[in-house]
Amino acid sequence: MIAYIARRIAFLVPTWLGVTLLAFFLSTFAGGDPARNYFLRTRGRQPSPRELVIVRERFDLDKPLPERYLTWLGGAVRGDLGDSFSTGRPVTQELLRRFPATLELAAAGTVVAVVLAIPVGVLAALRRNSILDQLTRGGAMFGASIPPFWLALLLIILFSVQLQLLPSAGRGGLDHLILPALALGLGEAAIIARLTRSSLLEILREDYVMTARAKGISERRVIARHALRNALGPVVTEIGLVFGYLLGQAAIVEIIFVWPGVGRLAVEAIGQRDYNMIQGFVVFAGTVYILISLAVDLVYLWLDPRVTLVRQARPAAS
Amino acid sequence: MSDPATTLVTDSADRLQTPAALVPKRSLLRQLVRDRTALAGLIIIVVMVGAALAAPWIAPHDPNEQDVLNRYATPSLENPLGTDNLGRDELSRLLHGARISLLTTLAVGVAILTIGIAVGTIAGFGGGFIDGLLMRLVDVLLALPVLLLGLAVTGMLGPGLLHLAIGVTAVAWVEYARLMRGLVLAVRERPFVESARALGLPGRRIAVRHVLPNIISPVIVVGTLRTGQLLLTLSALSFLGLGVQPPTAEWGAMLSEGQNYLASAPQLMIYPGAAITIAALGFNLLGDGLRDVLDPTLR
Amino acid sequence: MRQHGGFGAPVLLAGLAVLLIASACGGDEDEAARTDPSGPQTLIIGAREDGYTTEGNEADVGQYPLNANIFEGLVRMDANYEVQPALATEWEFKPPNAWTFTLREGVQFHDGTPFDAEAVKYTFDRVAKTGGGTPGFGKDSTKIIDDYTVEITPVFENRRLIEQLVHPSYSIIAPDSNPGDEPIGTGPFKFVDYSEQEQIVVERNDQYWGEKPTLEKITFRFLPEPNARRLALEAGEVDLIVDVPREAVADLEAKGFAIVQSDVGAYDALYLNISGEKGYTLLQDPAVRHAIGYAIDRDALVEGLFEGLAGPEQTMIPSRLLGEQNAAEIDGYAYDPQQAEQLLEDAGWTEGADGVREKDGRRLELELINGFPSAQAHGAVPEFLQDQLGEVGIEVKIVKMPDTASYEERLASGEGDIWIEQGSQNDANPVFLPALLFWTEGLFGDIGYQPLFAPGGETDRLIIDALANPDSEETKALTAQAMSELVDEEAIVLPMAGIFRIDAMSEEVGGYEPQPSALQVRYDGAFLARD
């Protein structure tokens, strides 16, 4: 078990390095002149040739590519991702400043998804093929098809423009959080509901459930004690993955709701060709995701140790 | 992201006993048609793709023809869905938009499946160094959500439909590569493969003629299931301004333009969004149906 | 030229009153009649995006682009583009190139520091450190003669200094202070708090030397999206919003909000690249440029894209500033697509198979660069132009830049044929824009526009004359002639509409005056009537 965990963590290092390479590589794609860009943004005018040289030196732009990568990587390992070409401020600082807002959004979206989905999924499984079940499956199908950005705009039209109940932009109190969380969470609710349902259905057919029933234990107890707990295994890990997924989807919702999160920062940086910010963001996001997937794996491990052994036997996709 | 689809794939790999294990193609289609959800999905897709292909002939107007003094018109015989902020016919724009949105989605879908299957097969059969290298690459790309990576790559390349397609293709193939590799690895140890090898058949021949046809189907199912999501991702990037440039009509771009008139003319935003939803729904229903046909116990 | 200022509060008050009445008669529409302030006097304004710089000597929190009334300059500009005294009561130009200012006495900064020549020198020396600005401050330009007298000698000959000093970037800050840390000015409101990208809050300055404001507190909320501003107003989250999207105007009026509009103070114009560099040679032919001028239906533009809420002027510089007679010098272009097509035919551009004109095997394809001040600011105008020019056989490809800096970068590289810009007249110097953009030498030197758009010749002569002329009336006339060169003769500049500001507010707000230049808006006359 410990060996497995250690192996997993060891594997992460080359992956992380790969992410940094990818991030750095991306910026070689783009055109434009980051030094001139920086000057224009912070001073509001074109630089003179001398000023341009000074800016280039400041950002190490005059050094060869491999050297720049290594310098940057050295900094990245220590948490220093360089300075933004748009504002001149440290990238890490900007990212950390805005990350809590994205976390808030992803967490709220996950809560919405879970609170809506699990009860519905459970009920649908229990009352299989009933009207509720049909509706759930239909609704879930629909929810997975709606573009989150469209949903966000529809919610704004309904709740902000027509009913004037909720604000349409900005981060503030709970009322500012509701619409973005709904826009993010409803789509995922669909998926979680289906997963809960199918997972529970599968468990309910399992042998040990049959055994429990045969022993005469009441149906309710069967469900509560045996079925649910085991069915929740994959669901819990799914929630972890959903949270990670939402962190990615949040970018669009952040733009629509003018939410001060990292996703919006990244999109703006891409438009502004702020290479350091884009690189830093990719590394930052990559790190977060790697940690999340590690956490999910560990949780799954804790919930169901059988899986590891089975996995080790099968050289299948892990 | 794991879901019943992935389980299906690994289960299928286990269940393979003989080379011709899977249901022959013809009765697959018939089974599909008998399943109601799949049928609904198939109909939706056929209608939409058909409309998209026929757009230049069935659209009532030129999608770019402006009539500024007739903007925001209400639906009429002349303009069945009204006009937009520049007086262009909304229905014509939706139809032409379908061409771009749907056909791009299909093209990219095919591309990523092909690349993913190829890479996965090479990794699965190549083993050792090649496998390690490719899978490392896959891990790295999987470490980030497709939307953000696609955004970064496309953003770097610049706006334009081709860049959008390339950007998303470059990052979205990884899931299929991993799936395919897993399947290949699972099947490699099977008796019929062993015997083929014992017979002295070259590796590539084993791969292409014996192994591939059997395990490709689950991957294609996943591909279909994911097409809806692919459409949503492409539309999202288009919505952010990457992709087609004005005046070209495309659903994501139309949605983005419509955003400006959110409060005064919401219909400009509702129509393209509805179109995307219905198309994605069609793909999801079809994919679901395919999966049900292959493994009814999950219904 | 000698100017007399007021002698303190009573005259200033009278001046304000006159101005208020004058601008009320000047055409503000739908200002609801509110008489007396009542209820809590805290105003919340939905402002545009936060554009403050917070670092270094360029820091301008509270000054620019949002003038939060914390600071004041030596002079200011009224709604008629006239220069009025503010912290300076008198000024005199001493040839060849020196300006003497008599400073207002009895004024204090918000932290109690007295306002005197020290503060003026500190402020302008700071401007010199970042390049000197449009007036041309050098490190020795500002001399203290005595406590209340200052002499300014710009680094180049500058007759227009006084008109330029109205810009809030030259407002006076307290000695040794930095707006990036804490904005300390002399204005009717003093700084309370600033949260980047969120809001800036100011409160009444009870020690103000002029008439004390009625409002106790103003919160400016940064809401970059026009729709978000509109929704915030409707939801009651803010009391007043600036720059209302035009399609929202009718709706807001119907809902009982007051809509006020200023005089024309901004423009929407096309600049045509005549440099011939990097393959962009198509616009070197004047026939093509003039054809573009005739091909645009400006009435349809104003009606369809501005909901009728813009002026059809083609002067670029507000006619209020130039003077009506001078403005008439600039003819502009009538909508005449036949004329456009004729010009193109005569120049050898024949219609090809797909409707796009060709000549010597080359298609008439032009790149239009959209992004100043932002792509959103232009809305659907580029697409409209694309269509219009398409009608006469010109194909336009629209290139969207994500923001100003990217646009400027592209401009520096010179890659584009048509450049669409929206700009405003932010000081009282009529020849500022032509000198900045279309004069070969350039007011700031070569800022990227000169190689692409400056024709030289007569235009240069007129601009140089206008800059150096001691008589501001002459300057206006010469400027109008220069614009006529650029628009009518050369067809390098094609103005499309004159834009005025539209703001909206709840019925409870009173005493608010939108200005043609947003930088000059004052809130000391504003009040709330919440009953």
Q: Return all residues near C59 (Cβ < 8 A) that are at least 6 apart.
A: C52, C53, C178, C179, C180, C181
CA–CA separation, B176 vs B117, rounded Å? 6
Q: Is the confidence at residue A27, as pLDDT, over 70?
A: yes
Average pLDDT, chain C: 88
Q: Is the confidence at residue C25, as pLDDT, over 50?
A: no
Same domain, A129 and A70: no
Average pLDDT, chain A: 80
CB contact, 8 Å: A42 with chain C? yes
Reduce the DSSP state of residue C527 to 3 states and report it.
strand
Q: What is the pLDDT of residue C18?
A: 46
- Per the domain annotation, does A309 fall within a domain? no
Ranked by mean pLDDT, the top range of A200-214, B73-87, B195-209 is B73-87
Per residue in A167-180, pLDDT tens?
Answer: 877 787 888 899 99
Per residue in B139-174, pLDDT tens?
Answer: 888 877 788 888 888 877 878 899 899 989 988 998
Q: Is the confidence at residue C455, as pLDDT, over 80?
A: yes
The residues pairing with C528 across neighbouring beta strands, listed in sequence order, are C509
Reduce the DSSP state of residue B268 to 3 states and report it.
helix
The runs of H, that is alpha helices, within A127-173 are 131-145, 148-155
Same domain, A51 and A108: no
Q: What is the pLDDT of residue B204?
A: 62
Chain B residues with CB under 8 Å of C398 CB are 245-247
Chain A residues 157-196 within an 8 A CB cutoff of chain C? 160-161, 164, 167-170
Least confident of A77-91, C62-76, C245-259: A77-91
Same domain, A66 and A196: no
- Chains contacting C with at least 3 CB pairs below 8 Å? A, B
- The pLDDT confidence band at residue A153, using thresholds 50, 70 and 90, is very high
> Cβ of A270 and B259 within 8 Å?
no
Q: Is the confidence at residue C409, as pLDDT, over 70?
A: yes
Same domain, A65 and A117: no
Q: What is the pLDDT of residue A195?
A: 77
Q: Which residue of B has its CA nearest to C375?
A: B241
Q: What is the pLDDT of residue A310?
A: 44
Q: Is the confidence at residue C5, as pLDDT, over 50?
A: no
- The pLDDT confidence band at residue B2, using thresholds 50, 70 and 90, is very low
The residues pairing with C505 across neighbouring beta strands, listed in sequence order, are C240, C258
CA–CA separation, C291 vs A84, rounded Å? 44
Same domain, A147 and A102: yes
Q: Which residue of A has its CA nearest to C52?
A: A42
- Per the domain annotation, does A87 fall within a domain? no
- Buried/exposed B46-65: b ≥16 CB within 10 Å, e otherwise: eebbebbeebeeebebebbe
Which burial class, exposed, middle or buried, applies to B26 when counting CB atoms under 10 A from its CB (0-12, 13-18, 19+)?
Answer: exposed
Same domain, A44 and A109: no
Per residue in A241-256, pLDDT tens?
Answer: 777 778 778 888 998 8
Cα of C70 to nearest chain A Cα, Å: 22
Same domain, A102 and A73: no
A156 closest CA partner among C491, C381, C230: C230
Q: Is the confidence at residue C416, as pLDDT, over 70?
A: yes
> Cβ of A169 and C58 within 8 Å?
no
B247 closest CA partner among B56, B54, B66, B57: B66
Q: How much of chain A exceeds pLDDT 70, in percent?
A: 83
* Structural domain harbouring A30: 2-77
Q: Is the confidence at residue C531, as pLDDT, over 90?
A: no
**Which residue among A145, A248, A317 places its CB closest to the CB of B182?**
A317
Same domain, A29 and A140: no
Tell me the mean pLDDT in the region C125-147: 88
C213 closest CA partner among C421, C70, C407, C82: C70
Chain C residues with CB under 8 Å of A40 CB are 404-405, 408-409
Same domain, A284 and A185: yes
- Per the domain annotation, does A297 fall within a domain? yes
Q: Is the confidence at residue C453, as pLDDT, over 70?
A: yes
> Cβ of C398 and B245 within 8 Å?
yes
Final residue of a domain: which of A18, A43, A77? A77
- The pLDDT confidence band at residue B107, using thresholds 50, 70 and 90, is very high
Which burial class, exposed, middle or buried, applies to A80 when counting CB atoms under 10 A from its CB (0-12, 13-18, 19+)?
Answer: middle
Comparing A283 with B220, the larger pLDDT belongs to A283
**DSSP string computed for C415-455:** --SEEEEEEE--SS-TTHHHHHHT-SS-BTB--SSHHHH--
CB pairs under 8 A between A and B: 161
Q: Is the confidence at residue C16, as pLDDT, over 50?
A: no
Per residue in B9-40, pLDDT tens?
Answer: 445 444 443 333 444 455 666 766 777 778 88
- Per the domain annotation, does A310 fall within a domain? no
- Per the domain annotation, does A83 fall within a domain? no
- The pLDDT confidence band at residue C27, using thresholds 50, 70 and 90, is very low
Q: How much of chain B exceeds pLDDT 70, in percent?
A: 81
Average pLDDT, chain B: 81
Tell me the mean pLDDT in the region B175-193: 79
Tell me the mean pLDDT in the region C490-496: 95
Same domain, A181 and A262: yes
> Cβ of C380 and B257 within 8 Å?
yes
- Per the domain annotation, does A30 fall within a domain? yes
CATH of the domain at A220: 1.10.3720.10
Reduce the DSSP state of residue A103 to 3 states and report it.
helix
Comparing A244 with C502, the larger pLDDT belongs to C502
The runs of H, that is alpha helices, within B143-243 are 146-157, 161-172, 174-188, 191-198, 203-205, 212-239
Tally of structural domains, chain A: 2
Q: What is the pLDDT of residue A205?
A: 73
- Per the domain annotation, does A317 fall within a domain? no
Per residue in C271-310, pLDDT tens?
Answer: 999 999 999 999 999 999 999 999 999 999 999 999 999 9
> Cβ of A46 and C225 within 8 Å?
no
Q: Which of C60, C225, C446 to mutate to test the interface with A (most CBs of A within 10 A)?
A: C225
Cα of A220 to nearest chain B Cα, Å: 23
Q: Is the confidence at residue C390, as pLDDT, over 80?
A: yes
Q: How much of chain B exceeds pLDDT 90, in percent?
A: 37
pTM: 0.83
Tell me the mean pLDDT in the region C498-511: 92
- Per the domain annotation, does A223 fall within a domain? yes
- The pLDDT confidence band at residue A1, using thresholds 50, 70 and 90, is low
> Cβ of C402 and B241 within 8 Å?
yes
Chain B positions contacting chain C at CB under 8 Å are 64, 66, 68-69, 71, 85-87, 159, 241, 245-247, 257, 259-265
Q: Which of B71, B84, B151 to mutate to test the interface with C (most CBs of C within 10 A)?
A: B71
- Determine the residue type at C159: R
Same domain, A8 and A114: no
Q: How much of chain C exceeds pLDDT 90, in percent?
A: 64
Q: Is the confidence at residue A35, as pLDDT, over 90?
A: no
Chain A residues with CB under 8 Å of C231 CB are 156, 160-161, 167-169
> Cβ of A147 and B186 within 8 Å?
no
Reduce the DSSP state of residue C523 to 3 states and report it.
coil
Same domain, A26 and A154: no
State the distance between the two ends of chain B, measured CA to CA, in whole angstroms: 20
Q: Is the confidence at residue C31, as pLDDT, over 50?
A: no
Final residue of a domain: which of A29, A45, A77? A77
Q: Is the confidence at residue C29, as pLDDT, over 50?
A: no
Q: Is the confidence at residue B177, as pLDDT, over 50?
A: yes
